[in-house]
């Protein structure tokens, strides 16, 4: 998901997406620990998505506080 797509979502949708990605991250870590996952890079991509969403959420929070 690109930053432009993330910007279009409202705050509630961002929090839902963030929760889903954190659950997926947890599942991927367990899969890696059990040697069940072949594509380890998938975890890296999920972490990047989480970081993008958190960046947008924090930008919105700071913009709201500065008003």
pTM for the full model?
Answer: 0.90
The pLDDT assigned to 37 comes to 84
What does the pLDDT look like over 14-49, one tens digit per residue? Answer: 999 999 999 999 999 999 999 998 888 999 999 999
Residue 35, phi-psi category: left (phi > 0), alpha (psi -120 to 50), beta (remainder): left
- As a whole number of angstroms, the distance between CA 38 and CA 51 comes to 23
The pLDDT assigned to 38 comes to 86
The pLDDT assigned to 60 comes to 94
**Mean pLDDT for the stretch of residues 41-67:** 95
The pLDDT assigned to 45 comes to 96
The three-point CA angle 23-39-32 to 5° equals 55
């Amino acid at each position: 998901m690109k930053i432009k797509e993330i910007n279009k979502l409202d705050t509630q949708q961002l929090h839902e997406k963030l929760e889903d990605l954190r659950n997926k991250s947890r599942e991927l870590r367990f899969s890696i620990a059990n040697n069940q996952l072949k594509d380890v890079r998938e975890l890296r991509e999920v972490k990047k998505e989480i970081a993008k969403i958190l960046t947008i959420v924090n930008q919105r929070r700071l913009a709201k506080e500065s008003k």
